Chain A
Amino acid sequence: MSVGYEPWSADRAAQIIASHRDMAGATMPILHAIQEAFGFVPEPVVPMIAESLNLSRAEVHGVVTFYHDFRREPPGRHVIKLCAAEACQAMGATALAAYAEQKLGIEMGETSPDGRVTLEPIYCLGLCACAPSGLVDGRLVGRLDRTAIDELAAEANR
């Protein structure tokens, strides 16, 4: 799912903003739609949203930067999110995350220099009874172990 984003286009962004602007509290739905289209929230979209919703740029910037989900840089072609919350920790998630870092050669929160893969922590997917769990390119995965990480890493490097 992290592959196939649209290239940045101000026209397309304007279209997305226009189709959501009449919703009550439109900022979040607009930002989600922008990120779904472009893979991240490009800087030029901030003043566009501000103008459309009659907000200050600072207010929109504040929203973009408050929420962990909104990216200000494009993600890697594959995004691997591993749950770091307590239930997954109880099943060895911390050691597994370290293994994934070593396997992918990047640290949590980083994208590989070749742009292939982004590795991130996520705090709970509600898969607490099949821990450790993760979200890989939008796909839910549970009962993760080193073998599963090896497969995910191989998939990401393909």
Chain B
Amino acid sequence: MSTARIFVPNDATAIACGADRVARTLADALAARGVQIDIVRNGSRGLFWLEPLLEVETPAGRVGYGPVTPADIDGLLAAGLLDGQAHPLCVGLVEEIPYLKKQTRLTFARCGIIDPLSLDDYTAHDGYKGLAKAVEIGPAAIVEEVFQSGLRGRGGAGFPTGIKWRTVAGAPADQKYIVCNADEGDSGTFADRMIMEADPFCLIEGMTIAGIAVGATKGFVYCRSEYPLSLIVMEKAIAIARRAGLLGPNVAGSGYAFDIEMRMGAGAYVCGEETALLDSLEGKRGIVRAKPPLPAFKGLFGRPTVINNLISLATVPVILEKGGAFYKDFGMGRSRGTMPIQLAGNIKYGGLFETAFGISLGELVNEIGGGTASGRPVRAVQAGGPLGAYLPVHQFDTPFDYEAFAAKDALIGHGGITVFDDTVDMAQMARFAMEFCSHESCGKCTPCRIGSTRGKETLDKIIAGERREANLAILTDLCQTMKLGSLCALGGFTPYPVMSALTHFPEDFGVAPKLPAAAE
């Protein structure tokens, strides 16, 4: 028993549900019993309904107990927690939990398993194998490997990462940058946060590989201020990597220089848009830039910049380690590899589910997610965050795939799925989408700045029953203008939740459902 360890997650969700108090109570209880055993603060496995999930190493594997409260500790110890004995909270071997077992964890392979701040643990679980390969094959071959993997931007736009890297690699400059977009503002998403808190070296390794690939020596991680724990863990991990010579003038003795700096956002959703993020990093208002020039040519401080979503960068190590062809073998159509899907909102088994593209929305929500937390029927899901469409139950056969979602006027975005039960008022959700856009608009382009305000006002009139037909026509026209005329996805995609709500749930807007197409 002396070598066994107990794990209590140091993850924002686990902590919000009491993990710190559980860890303290456990430490005190063990001390009072004179038991010497290491309590490791791991990241989360992403099975959030079980958090705080306490795990104990046993000869058979790690046995889990959850959700644990401080009041459960004495009872757990009495039942034989340290030997993985039975208890009402026991969930058995964690690896055998179907929710986890059904996943294909490539990007999240180490999440919840390792001590996030132990380099030994990281390397013992295949960490830095990708970097070793990258150094061996050199910049051009790294770019080719990423291109071959079919990896597309996981922030939502889905642009091929390899092409972005190739462009920056070919751009001559005295200084180039790698910028990690960790401004994960979409409600219903937490994948970036989980990587930062559970496997920070994976992001550091991915950014380092990107730096070597394109000739950049400096990286920035722009993390939102709403993730205070992620910022702390990342800062610590960067310091550890620097001390170990894995960041700095001669990364792991390779001759390549690369270092990373953390930067904190300040509550502006629009800074998740890449050009607004770059302006914010430069110390300005987070205003969207017109493209061209692309950030690949003129990015941060006017220099060629790779700006990638955190998940894209954190997927690079496994692609280098196992090869682009290995990664490409997962998925469907033009959506290759795996996607960390985040099940959120009113859902029984909320959490992170990494799987190959192609799984149906219905399987995700009903079979894996177990339906609603409230026990009421599912009415709608919003896929892809505040700018994503609401999908009704009759579209649950849609496979999780960039193109299949686009064909239904929806988007997968950053992989968040927010579930609503039948108490939701879809007209209010449409209004919220417009209100949120008006709140967060950077103000540069008129369709977004003015359109969202007018959209909110028009929805208020529709909800109040004021000249409904005429106002619905105005709303539809306004959405079209925003969609086609906005500079970035904030104004351009806000029409998705609004119009999808109206199309699929007209009764909430006081309009009779489509067939027959009669005036009300």
The stretch that binds A, out of B12-20, B71-79, B481-489, is B12-20
The stretch that binds B, out of A5-13, A65-73, A110-118, A150-158, is A65-73
Q: Is A2 an interface residue (CB 8 A)?
A: no
**Contacting pair A86 B345 (CB below 8 A):** yes
Q: Across the two chains, which residue of chain B brings its CB closest to A141?
A: B16
Q: Which of A24, A70, A126, A141 contacts B226 (CB 8 A)?
A: A126
**Contacting pair A88 B225 (CB below 8 A):** no
Q: Is B436 an interface residue (CB 8 A)?
A: yes
From residue A54, how far is it (CB to closest CB) to chain B in Å? Answer: 12
Q: Across the two chains, which residue of chain B brings its CB closest to A144?
A: B16
From residue B50, how far is it (CB to closest CB) to chain A in Å? Answer: 11
The stretch that binds A, out of B126-134, B265-273, B506-514, is B265-273
**Contacting pair A128 B344 (CB below 8 A):** yes
Which of B189, B284, B301, B436 has its CB near the most chain A CB atoms (within 10 A)? B284
Q: Across the two chains, which residue of chain B brings its CB closest to A63?
A: B285
From residue A121, how far is it (CB to closest CB) to chain B in Å? Answer: 9
Query: Residues of B contacting A53 with CB < 8 Å?
Result: 283
User: Given that A28-B280, A124-B187, A125-B12 are known contacts, is A66 also in contact with B285, CB under 8 Å in the complex?
Assistant: yes
**Contacting pair A127 B284 (CB below 8 A):** no
**Contacting pair A126 B436 (CB below 8 A):** no
Residue count of chain A within 8 Å CB distance of chain B: 41
Query: Residues of B contacting A133 with CB < 8 Å?
Result: 16
**Contacting pair B346 A127 (CB below 8 A):** no
Residue count of chain B within 8 Å CB distance of chain A: 60
From residue A22, how far is it (CB to closest CB) to chain B in Å? Answer: 12
Q: Across the two chains, which residue of chain B brings its CB closest to A131?
A: B345
From residue A156, how far is it (CB to closest CB) to chain B in Å? Answer: 18
A63 CA / B344 CA spacing, docked (Å): 33
Q: Is the interface of A mostly helix, strand, loop or mixed?
A: loop
The stretch that binds A, out of B24-32, B90-98, B416-424, is B416-424
Query: Residues of A contacting B226 with CB < 8 Å?
Result: 122-126, 135
Query: Residues of B contacting A141 with CB < 8 Å?
Result: 16
A106 CA / B346 CA spacing, docked (Å): 28
CB-contacts of A21-45 with B (<8 A)? 24-29, 31-32
A133 CA / B190 CA spacing, docked (Å): 13
Q: Is B150 an interface residue (CB 8 A)?
A: no
From residue A15, how far is it (CB to closest CB) to chain B in Å? Answer: 19
Query: Residues of B contacting A28 with CB < 8 Å?
Result: 263-264, 266, 280-281, 283
**Contacting pair A123 B187 (CB below 8 A):** yes
CB-contacts of B179-201 with A (<8 A)? 184-190, 192-193
Query: Residues of B contacting A25 with CB < 8 Å?
Result: 263, 281-284, 301
Q: Is A87 an interface residue (CB 8 A)?
A: yes
User: Given that A86-B429, A123-B187 are known contacts, is A91 also in contact with B345, CB under 8 Å in the complex?
Assistant: yes
A132 CA / B229 CA spacing, docked (Å): 19
A75 CA / B332 CA spacing, docked (Å): 51
**Contacting pair B51 A90 (CB below 8 A):** no
**Contacting pair A123 B418 (CB below 8 A):** no
Q: Is B405 an interface residue (CB 8 A)?
A: no
Query: Residues of A contacting B343 with CB < 8 Å?
Result: 129
Query: Residues of A contacting B345 with CB < 8 Å?
Result: 86-88, 90-91, 128, 131
In the A-B complex, the 5 residue pairs with the smallest Cβ-Cβ separation, listed nearest first, are A129-B350, A27-B283, A142-B16, A85-B187, A128-B344
The 20 listed contacts between A and B (C-beta, < 8 Å) are A28-B263, A29-B263, A31-B266, A32-B266, A63-B283, A63-B285, A66-B286, A67-B286, A68-B267, A86-B187, A86-B345, A90-B421, A123-B269, A123-B440, A125-B226, A126-B13, A128-B344, A129-B48, A130-B16, A131-B346
